[in-house]
Structure 1
Amino acid sequence: MDAELRHLRALVAVVDHGTFTDAAIELKLSQASVSRSVAALENVLGVRLLDRSSRHVALTPAGERALAHARRAIADVSLFRRAAVGAGGELRVGYAWSALGRHTTDLQRRWAAEHPQLPLVLVQSNTPTAGLNEGTCELAVVRRSLADVRFATALIGTEARYAVVAADDRLARRRSVRLADFAARTVAVDSQTGTTTPDLWPADAAPAATRATHGVDEWLTLIAAGQAVGMTAEATVAQHPRPGVVYRRVRDAPPVSVWLAWWRNDPPARSEAFLRLARRAYQTA
């Protein structure tokens, strides 16, 4: 048996998400299926890639050497797919949480008016590259900088940050909040695609703890139950209203940068047109 793409994707997902359980959620597979895929890859190669002795899996030396090649193979397959089928008669734009927020619908309509022969399709993908590395889109809207040199990025605009609390939380009675209001609280954080990181707070006003979540729905469900508070970009406010959850602007938090990303060596033909419309939407606002 040879190594298959699904085996490589399972390995990368486990490394990126830290556990087999979280990798299974991301891949929309069972935990057992992900475990079998990694075990099959190890059997094919004849080496152990992951150390499963700790609470969070860790790469073995062989796994460290293999990981970069696994990522490259997945990316090459994505490039092959796009080269073989082209854009498929549409422009696919990925996003992790909220696309372009309140600008989304207006941009969709403007795009349809200017490019009636090339439908714009928005694709949600809760990965660091919002689907670029996975081959599900040609462009991606990201709110975390991409250090991977394979991708090029261009700034679209910026968004304010908002606190997110349960409707019966004491902060919900305010019109706005400050970073210091998060002190002694538990903050829900999506470390893969979220925009909230510990370095937002001064050392003497840091939250008491963080709680890991995976994706916007899990994040909002936790906050609505009063088990944590959150902070997010303005776009989430427009696209994810939720009963039992209240958004309040954080007055002293730095803005969130919104970027458009694409494969550096394979930019979509209409990337400049999309970037122009997206920037216009933010500048007009």
Structure 2
Amino acid sequence: MTSTDIELRHLRAFTSVARHRSFSRAAEELLITQPALSRTIAQLENRLNVLLLDRSSRHVEPTDTGAQFLEHAERVLAALDDALASVGHRATLRLGFGWLLPDPWAQRTVDRFEESTGASVALTRTDDPVQALRQRTVDIALVRGDAEVPAGMRTVRLYDEPRIAVCSERSELTRFGHLDWNDVQDWPLVVNTVNGTTGPGSWPAGRRPAEIVETANYDEWLETVAANRGIGIVPEVAQRRAQHPALRFVPLTNAPPSPVGLVHLPGTQRTLIRRFLDAALQSTPA
């Protein structure tokens, strides 16, 4: 065995399990599944040809050998973090987003990340954050709503946002005190087909809105709703942030929440992305 047989992921996996005395909590911290974590630990033990962890049905503890190895592994990782911090001010992580970063989550996440790493976050507004990620013009992308993420990308779900209805000031909907989710199908629905949070797929077949008005970006969606071509369904953050004199917001009852997540490609900017995900999860609403 040579040192090249041991990778940083092995050390991070082992130290996390040893610190938490738990595979489940370590998996949550590392943002991987428990089976993947177990495989990584098994690889490390096989390559070292030693037993590092004493596993039982009730607890996980480092063996005597594992405790000695833990001290060395933590020193190696600490030295790496110091080395990264020494050049961190030169590093930039590009965060792609389609519209209206959620607040105060975005501000808290960026502050935490920049303070802990010395790196900076470049905020990149793009009509299609997932496509920008595929083209590698951003390093990580904020995604909202029910759209499926392409295979090969990794998603971390952060939290859910409540939905609200939006319509033109000239819409008949303004006469209602609220709109029920099950009644949305009775109205033309304006959909942003690129990065919108609500579309036909948000309902089961047979209960979808009869008329869909498609738009290709946020600005088109905004002006189409304002022109009274139909109603829109958006996260509630839009009520605070979307300033348009011709729009009115209507409470939406019985609507499923709109998920918020981060998507990234494995193998790129791994250390910075892991640190950003840590900051993002710490900043999620309680």
- Normalised-by-shorter TM-score class: 0.5 to 0.7
> 1:71 — aligned with what?
none
Contact 1:101 1:234 (C-alpha < 8 Å) held by counterparts: no
Q: Please give the residue correspondences for 1:173-188 in structure 2 after superposition, counting only pairs within 5 Å.
A: 173-188=175-190
Q: Please give the residue correspondences for 1:134-283 in structure 2 after superposition, counting only pairs within 5 Å.
A: 134-143=135-144, 144-201=146-203, 206-283=208-285
SS at match of 2:133: coil
| Letter aligned with residue 225 of structure 1 | A
Q: Structure 1: how far apart are the matches of 2:148 and 2:272?
A: 21
Q: Which runs of 5+ in 1 are unaligned?
A: 1-85
SS at match of 1:183: helix
- Distance change in 2, residues 1:269/1:87 (3 Å): farther
| TM-score (norm: length of structure 2) | 0.61
| Letter aligned with residue 122 of structure 1 | L
Q: CA deviation at 1:122?
A: 1.3
Contact 1:129 1:146 (C-alpha < 8 Å) held by counterparts: no
> 1:123 — aligned with what?
124
Identity of aligned residues (%): 25
Contact 2:184 2:209 (C-alpha < 8 Å) held by counterparts: yes
Q: CA deviation at 1:261?
A: 0.9
Q: Which structure has the larger Rg over C-alpha atoms? A: 2
- Distance change in 2, residues 1:87/1:257 (3 Å): farther
> 1:108 — aligned with what?
110
| CA deviation map 1:96-145 (0-9, x unaligned) | 22233443233333434334x31111111112605201222111111245
Contact 2:96 2:129 (C-alpha < 8 Å) held by counterparts: no
| CA deviation map 1:266-285 (0-9, x unaligned) | 2432222222332233233x
Q: CA deviation at 1:173?
A: 4.6
Q: Structure 1: how far apart are the matches of 2:219 and 2:116?
A: 33
Contact 2:193 2:217 (C-alpha < 8 Å) held by counterparts: no
> 2:91 — aligned with what?
89
Q: Please give the residue correspondences for 1:37-76 in structure 2 after superposition, counting only pairs within 5 Å.
A: none
| CA deviation map 1:138-197 (0-9, x unaligned) | 111112454423211111111111111112323335453212332332111122221222
Contact 2:90 2:119 (C-alpha < 8 Å) held by counterparts: no
> 2:26 — aligned with what?
none
- Distance change in 2, residues 1:257/1:175 (3 Å): same
| Letter aligned with residue 136 of structure 1 | T
| TM-score (norm: length of structure 1) | 0.61
Contact 2:179 2:250 (C-alpha < 8 Å) held by counterparts: yes
Contact 1:172 1:248 (C-alpha < 8 Å) held by counterparts: yes
Q: Structure 1: how far apart are the matches of 2:221 and 2:177?
A: 22
Contact 1:138 1:268 (C-alpha < 8 Å) held by counterparts: no
**Cα RMSD (Å):** 2.7
